[in-house]
Chain A
Amino acid sequence: MSQVVHNFTVSVPHWSPYIKPVELETASQEQLDAMKVTPSSKKISEYVLTLAHDPESLAVRSPLFNAIMYGRAGLPPAERELGAIGSSIVNRCVYCAAVHGARYNQLTKSTELVAKIFADETEAQLDERSQALFDFAVELAKSPPSLKAQHTNALKELGFDTLGVVDLVLATAIFGWANRLMHVLGEPVKI
């Protein structure tokens, strides 16, 4: 029996869908295109196979996600991950938090900050710069969003420019989307 993971962890679990994923053998051409299936890349995750039930949105969301998280210039990659983590904590997407917590640790070569966030969640006490980024993400991720001028001003005082703030908004918001897919359509299980 697989065991559902309820606590935040950087040990990335397996994602198990509540919906029967599309089967590669019977997928339509539009679904194959949306999943970017090519003769050389046939290994598709269950998450992508589940989302392939709606190929129109999958086809545009994947490049959107990549442009937001991995696009050039602007907010540094690790700080975009902090936006992803803030949203995933608010929405309790254990799978998303694991993937992006692990990525943050890999980028920063440190585990301390993510460990604090996983322990104390939205109350975590961080260094000034990380705190301003994390609090911004948490307030924007709440429903309804409760981001205020004080949060953007805190970033400005720390030297962030408008592009940096725009990038943090995007990284947090795209997880408002991703969390609502991964946490709602399936669950993390121990491998």
Chain B
Amino acid sequence: MLTPNIIERLVGANENSPLALAIAERAEIMALSQASHDAVIIPKEPGGLSHAERAALAERIARLSNSEELADHYHACLETAGGDENLYVAANPEQAAFGDERFMEIIRFTDLVTRKPREATKQDIDALKAVGISEPDIVRLTEVLAFVNYQLRVVAGFKLAGDMQ
């Protein structure tokens, strides 16, 4: 049966394997991880960051992190949300992203927070404000980026835990 929980689906632990039992032991964490996914990718109140933009950024983060299956999941989310062409281009870091000033600053911030969060400073937040992104939207954007970075590490780590036996 297809589980609606994305982490469990991508990890694909064999039934009754030690990994499947460990994940079952952490069922509450799995449910809250899925609820977190829904809260940042398809929120009821998306503010100034559309569902399509969120899906495109999530796909980009997954691709930057060599998490191809998770990237494919977010590509499907992007198709469901129905984004413009520049979102499909931005979802693939191997292509040159294009868009308005606001969008390009969001892409720059996404790459920084994903690849080199340690280098982020107040200037990076000020740069988002300078292109007209509101403070609530800066928090929403950072939550999207931070969550996907959590999720892709759970998938990668669980897969290795499953190979351990």
Known: A170-B29, A184-B142. A144 touches B65 (CB 8 A): yes
Q: In whole angstroms, what is the CA distance A61 to B38 when docked?
A: 12
Contact call B32/A60, Cβ cutoff below 8 A = yes
User: Are A143 and B40 in touch, CB under 8 angstroms?
Assistant: no
Asked whether any CB of chain B lies closer than 8 Å to the CB of A108, the reply is no
Q: Check B161–A166 contact: CB distance below 8 A.
A: yes
**Is A159 engaged at the interface, CB distance under 8 Å to the other chain?**
no
Decide yes or no: A161 and B122 within 8 Å by CB, A56-B39, A145-B156, A176-B150 being known contacts. Answer: no
Evaluate contact between A143 and B65: CB separation under 8 angstroms: yes
B97 CB → nearest A CB, Å: 19
Main SS of chain A's interface residues? helix
A55 to B165, CA, bound (A): 40
* Secondary structure type dominating chain B contacts: helix
**Among the listed B26, B36, B154, which residue makes an inter-chain contact with A71, where contact means beta carbons less than 8 Å apart?**
B26
One of A7-15, A111-119, A126-134, A150-158 contacting the partner: A150-158
User: Within the assembled complex, what's the spacing in Å between the Cα atoms of A56 and B153?
Assistant: 22
Instruction: Confirm or deny: B88 has a beta carbon within 8 angstroms of a beta carbon on chain A.
Output: no
Determine the interface band of chain B, counting residues with CB < 8 A from chain A.
Answer: 35 or more
The answer to whether residues A57 and B118 also contact, given A19-B138, A145-B152, A185-B125 and a CB cut-off of 8 A, is no
B99 at the interface (CB under 8 A from A): no
- Contact of A143 with B116 in the complex, beta carbons under 8 Å: yes
Q: A19-B139, A147-B157, A162-B164 are in contact. List 19 more A-B contacts (CB 8 A).
A: A51-B143, A57-B36, A60-B39, A61-B36, A71-B28, A93-B117, A144-B65, A144-B67, A149-B163, A149-B164, A152-B163, A162-B21, A172-B153, A174-B150, A181-B143, A181-B146, A183-B120, A184-B120, A184-B142
11 A-B pairs with CB atoms under 8 Å apart are A56-B40, A57-B39, A60-B36, A143-B115, A145-B156, A149-B163, A155-B164, A165-B22, A165-B157, A169-B157, A184-B125
